[in-house]
Amino acid sequence: MQKSNKPIAGYHLLMILSSVDGEFAPEEGMLVQQYLADEFPFKMDLDNELETIALLKPEEWKGHFEFHANCFYDDSTEEERQSFIQFAKTLIKADNKVTDEEHTFYTLLKKIWNIN
């Protein structure tokens, strides 16, 4: 897999976080759109990125997630990671329920980034 820049890696992380429970809630979609608007002030074609994510089998999610967590880490400051973690927490709570799968991936992200 080719290394991703921080905004693309963040997109992959958020899309997996919002999909691991088997449901992509409209509230989660709105937050992903907010992230895109904040990170990509210009028009960005993410069709290839979305296709890559959509073609992942559930057993491939963890490895893909870890890869992009490391890409984001490489291109970010501690402050940016803290901010992203808070945003990710908001995302997984957006539909008013946090599943075991969402919690597992959220805590995995915190572990990879050494955030307590």
> What single letter denotes the amino acid at residue 43?
K
Q: What is the pLDDT of residue 90?
A: 96
One-letter-per-residue 3-state SS of 97-113: CCCHHHHHHHHHHHHHC
Distance of CA 106 to the CA centre of its chain: 9
- pTM score, two decimals? 0.93
Confidence band (pLDDT; 50, 70, 90) for 23?
confident
Q: What is the pLDDT of residue 62?
A: 97
> What are 35-93's pLDDT values in tens digits?
999 998 777 788 999 899 999 999 999 999 999 999 999 999 999 999 999 999 999 99
Task: Strands of 11-76 (E only): list them.
Answer: none
d(CA 13, CA 65): 6
Structure tokens at 65: 């997630």
Residue 13 has pLDDT above 80, yes or no: yes
d(CA 24, CA 76): 27
Q: What is the pLDDT of residue 113?
A: 98
Structure tokens at 116: 């307590």
6-112 architecture in CATH? Answer: Orthogonal Bundle (1.10)
Where exactly are the structural domains of the chain? 6-112
